[in-house]
Amino acid sequence: MTAKETFDRLAAKFPQFPLGYLEGKDTAILVKGENLVGLAQHMRDDEEYDYCSSITGVDYPDRFEVVYHLYSTKKEGGPVILKVHAERENPMLPSVVSIWPTANWQEREVWDLMGIRFSGHPNLTRILMWEGFEGHPLRKDFPGSEDEYIFG
């Protein structure tokens, strides 16, 4: 099944969620933040996309984007890619940990390095850097860090 067909089928199946079609090397589906959890629930229960491979935050000049790559261990077929946008000021998205527990650490990583909050996450703390570190290093405007301790 091509990505376009998958998209058409999903769009017909879930008229309650307005979806956007993003053409590209890997075709993606654009979802609104408030519909994400509802769609994810359907994807897992009805479409057998039981395996959420990766969650990535990207810092674009005008927005933050979080990309979800979904696969199925039960049926054939390439990924379904969901993209969600978040605004630049105080980015906040719903968490999908209740649907795919694997999202737990991945969302913590996105919060740590990219600074996107996930509402409803059980334990949204920094994972790679220490608590108390200022800033989110993977943002394009991260100033770099300075040490008092290390000279030279």
Partner 1 sequence: MTQEDTVPPELKRNVFIAPVDWIYNLGRAASVWPVMFGVACCAFEMIVTVTSRFDLARFGMEFLRASPRQSELMIVSGTVTKKMAPQVVRLYDQMPEPKYVLAMGACAISGGPFKDGYNVVPGVDKLLPVNVYVPGCPPRPESLLDAILKLHKQIRAETIRTSPWYRKDADREIPVPEYGPRGLVLPKGDKS
Partner 2 sequence: MTELKTETITINMGPQHPSTHGVFRLILTLDGETVVDVEPVVGYLHRNHEKIGEKNNWIQNTPFTDRLDYISPMSNEFAYVLAVEKLAEIEPPERAKYIRIIMVELNRIVNHMIAVGFLLNELGCFFTPMFYCLRWRELVVDLYEMTAGSRMMPNYFWIGGVSADLPEKFLPECKEFVDAVPGFIDELERLLTDNEILQMRCRNVGVLPPDVAVEYGCTGPLLRASGVPYDIRKAEPYSIYDRFDFDIAAGTVGDVLDRYLVRIAEMRQSAKIVEQALRDLPEGETATPKKRKFRPPEGDVYHRIEAPKGELGFYLVSDGSENPYRYKIRAPSFVNLQSLPYMCRGHKIADVVIIIGSIDITMGEVDR
Given the rule CB under 8 A, which residues bind partner 1? 128-130, 132-135, 137, 142, 144-152
By CB under 8 A, residue 45 contacts partner 2: no
| Token pair of 64 as six digits | 């933050």
Q: Return phi, psi of residue 128, to 5°.
A: -95, -40
The residue (of 14 and 111) whose beta carbon lies closer to partner 1 is 111
- Rule CB under 8 A: choose which of 3, 7, 79, 118 binds partner 2: 79
| Contact map string, positions 133 to 152, toward partner 2, x by CB under 8 A | ----xx---x----------
132 binds, among partner 1, partner 2, none (CB under 5 to 8 A by kind): partner 1
From start to end of 16-110, where are the E strands? 20-22, 28-31, 51-59, 64-71, 80-86, 92-94
Shortest spacing between CB 132 and partner 1, in angstroms = 6
Cβ atoms within 10 Å, residue 126: 15
Residue 149 and residue 35: Cα distance in Å, rounded? 47
Give Cα 107 distance to the centre of its chain: 8
133 binds, among partner 1, partner 2, none (CB under 5 to 8 A by kind): partner 1
Q: 15, 40, 20, 38: which is closest to 30 by C-alpha? A: 20
List contacts with partner 2 (CB under 8 A). 24-26, 50-54, 56, 58-59, 67, 69, 73, 76, 78-79, 81, 100-102, 104-106, 109, 113, 126-130, 137-138, 142
